[in-house]
């Protein structure tokens, strides 16, 4: 007898071991090999991005706008609701680990009358307490809980991604507004220069020193410069309205106080090592958490192929009185166990396993794609920052020479040594040089914003920080 019981116990343990092997999901594929260093070198004496990285631009107004965005932007509110929904899903999944307890009570009176007879009736009342519990023998329920918890982590990381994207969007739009205002100032100054030259040309024409052709040419230059102002004003308005939307405010009445981007600092940023991106970017953390959820879903789908064992119990009272359980009640007590093994379902459960496994493989490739894109983002931002800084230095030299060329051209034109075409060419060169300098400075600022964003904006996973190293 003892041998038979021992054999039965060993067989049961073997079934449990096989079931565990059958339901455990394959571990997610590790991240691809990361490069040892960046192709574009960053500043060696710079600091890594902080959580409030936007303050490194030295603009109090920008800090105020970002604080307003973080408290009023609709996209952030939507992301917060997604987190609350995921938290509720975790509670739903976790509730299946505990027994379900239900209470029911009913009372009724039945009246019957046979043909030609009298009405007769009877009363009945009953109350029942029923409990049920599914034994998580193969880990299906716990796998569902793990999947829900991983999905919750992914949703929280998605919320941080939305936050980082919004902050970067506010900074970029703010710098674009200020840059457009600088370009408007340059365009109006250039218009004043063109009008000044026109006065010289007009005076010489009245004295017969030049022909009407020179007057028409310079007049065309004045009109062209004047026509360049409305498109810049339109861009400035549209960008300002877009900035208001990011702040969660109506465009009407919204404005930025600053008028020039020249006072904004261009911070120096240390990119760190490429491998650090895996723990510094919330979108990569989200992709990793989604992969963990898919792995748990594979385990749950496999466990659904195996038998389920449920325990049930009930206790109740029944009486033949209306709304009275104390009048000669009948007590009932029941306890039971049930086993359910799927035998034939047309391949539905097997197909669900295949779907879950394919989804996991898809997310493995998705994770790898995100990592490659993140590396490219950082490299592009580093290259843009380095090249635009060099370009700005050269453009300053171009501007100095363009200003000097226009001064000399005007003097020589007054003295009759050169014709108007020389002056027009010098004007055009100066106008383009000044406008190009403003755009290059904007490019440097946007490259800094892009680098902060691509490096994760100083974000760190609080769960990873709390874990012992």
Per-residue pLDDT tens, the chain, 469 aa: give them. 445 544 443 444 344 444 444 455 555 555 677 888 888 876 656 788 888 999 999 999 999 999 999 999 999 999 999 999 999 999 999 998 899 999 988 888 888 888 877 888 888 888 889 999 988 888 999 999 999 999 999 999 999 999 999 999 999 999 999 999 999 999 999 899 889 888 988 888 888 888 889 899 889 989 999 999 999 999 999 999 999 999 999 999 999 999 899 889 999 888 989 998 888 999 999 999 999 999 999 999 999 898 988 989 988 887 777 666 566 678 888 898 888 888 888 899 899 999 999 999 999 999 999 999 999 999 999 999 999 999 999 999 999 999 999 999 988 888 888 888 888 888 889 999 999 999 999 999 999 999 999 999 999 888 765 554 4
Taking every pair of Cα atoms in the chain, the longest distance, rounded to a whole number of angstroms, is 134
Question: What's residue 4's pLDDT?
Answer: 52
Tell me whether residue 317 is in a domain: no
Nearest alpha carbon to residue 152 among 293, 357, 279, 284? 293
Q: Which residues contact 251 (CB under 8 A, 6 or more apart)?
A: 240, 241, 244, 245
DSSP secondary structure of 218-277: HHHHHHHHHHTHHHHHHHHHHHHHHHHHHTT--STT---S---STTS----B----GGGH
What CATH number should be reported for the domain holding residue 221? 1.20.1600.10
Whole-angstrom Cα distance, residue 257 to residue 236? 13
Beta bridge partners of residue 108, listed in sequence order: 124
Whole-angstrom Cα distance, residue 237 to residue 181? 10
Tell me whether residue 122 is in a domain: no
Nearest alpha carbon to residue 386 among 281, 269, 265, 277? 269
Task: Write down the pTM of the prediction.
Answer: 0.84
> Residue 76: helix, strand or coil by DSSP?
helix
Tell me whether residue 165 is in a domain: yes
Tell me whether residue 374 is in a domain: yes
Q: Specify the residue for token string 């385990």.
A: 299
Tell me whether residue 153 is in a domain: yes
Report the sign of the C-alpha dihedral through residues 372, 377, 383, 386, in that order: negative
Question: What's residue 43's pLDDT?
Answer: 61
How many beta carbons lie within 10 A of that of residue 338, not counting itself? Answer: 11
Tell me whether residue 118 is in a domain: no
Tell me whether residue 19 is in a domain: no
Question: What's residue 44's pLDDT?
Answer: 59
Number of domains in the chain: 1
Question: What's residue 461's pLDDT?
Answer: 83
Treating both helix axes as pointing N-terminal to C-terminal, what angle do 348-414 and 420-454 enclose, rounded to 10 degrees?
A: 150
Question: What's residue 327's pLDDT?
Answer: 64
Question: What's residue 9's pLDDT?
Answer: 39
> Residue 153: helix, strand or coil by DSSP?
helix
Tell me whether residue 253 is in a domain: yes
Residue 279 domain boundaries: 31-96+140-305+350-466
Question: What's residue 154's pLDDT?
Answer: 95
């Amino acid at each position: 007898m003892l041998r038979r019981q021992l054999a039965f116990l060993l067989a049961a343990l073997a079934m449990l071991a096989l079931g565990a092997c059958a339901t455990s999901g394959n571990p997610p594929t590790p991240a691809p090999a990361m490069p040892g260093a960046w192709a574009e070198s960053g500043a060696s004496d710079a600091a890594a991005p902080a959580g409030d990285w936007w303050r490194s631009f030295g603009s109090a107004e920008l800090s105020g706008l970002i604080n307003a965005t973080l408290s009023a932007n609709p996209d952030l509110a939507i992301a917060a609701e997604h987190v609350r929904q995921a938290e509720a899903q975790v509670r739903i999944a976790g509730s299946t680990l505990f027994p379900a307890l239900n209470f029911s009570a009913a009372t009724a009176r039945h009246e019957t009358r046979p043909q030609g007879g009298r009405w007769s009736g009877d009363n009945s009342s009953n109350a029942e307490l029923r409990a049920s519990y599914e034994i998580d023998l193969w880990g299906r329920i716990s796998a569902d809980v793990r999947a829900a918890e991983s999905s919750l982590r992914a949703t929280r990381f998605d919320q941080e991604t939305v936050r980082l994207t919004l902050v970067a969007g506010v900074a970029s739009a703010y710098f674009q507004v200020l840059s457009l205002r600088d370009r408007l100032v340059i365009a109006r100054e250039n218009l004043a220069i063109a009008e000044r030259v026109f006065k010289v040309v007009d005076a010489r024409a009245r004295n017969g020193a030049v022909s009407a052709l020179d007057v028409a040419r310079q007049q065309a230059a004045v009109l062209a410069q004047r026509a360049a102002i409305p498109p810049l004003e339109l861009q400035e308005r549209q960008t300002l309205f877009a900035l208001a939307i990011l702040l969660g405010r109506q465009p009407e009445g919204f404005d930025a106080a600053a008028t020039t981007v020249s006072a904004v600092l261009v911070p120096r940023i240390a990119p760190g090592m490429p491998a650090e991106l895996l723990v510094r970017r919330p979108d990569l953390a989200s992709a990793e958490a989604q992969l963990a959820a898919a792995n748990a879903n594979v385990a749950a789908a496999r466990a659904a192929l195996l038998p389920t064992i449920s325990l049930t119990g009930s206790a109740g009272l029944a009486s033949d009185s209306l709304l009275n359980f104390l009048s000669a009640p009948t007590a009932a007590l029941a306890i039971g166990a049930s086993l359910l093994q799927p035998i034939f379902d047309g391949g539905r459960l097997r197909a669900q396993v295949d779907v879950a496994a394919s989804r996991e493989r898809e997310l493995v490739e998705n994770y790898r794609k995100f990592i490659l894109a993140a590396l490219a983002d950082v490299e592009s931002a580093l290259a843009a920052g380095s090249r635009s800084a060099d370009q700005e230095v050269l453009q300053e030299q171009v501007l100095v020479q363009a200003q000097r060329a226009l001064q000399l051209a005007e003097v020589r034109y007054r003295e009759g040594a050169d014709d108007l075409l020389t002056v027009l060419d010098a004007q055009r060169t100066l106008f383009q040089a000044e406008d190009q300098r403003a755009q290059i400075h904007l490019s440097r600022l946007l490259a800094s914003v892009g680098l902060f964003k691509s490096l994760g904006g100083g974000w760190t996973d609080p769960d990873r920080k709390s874990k012992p190293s």
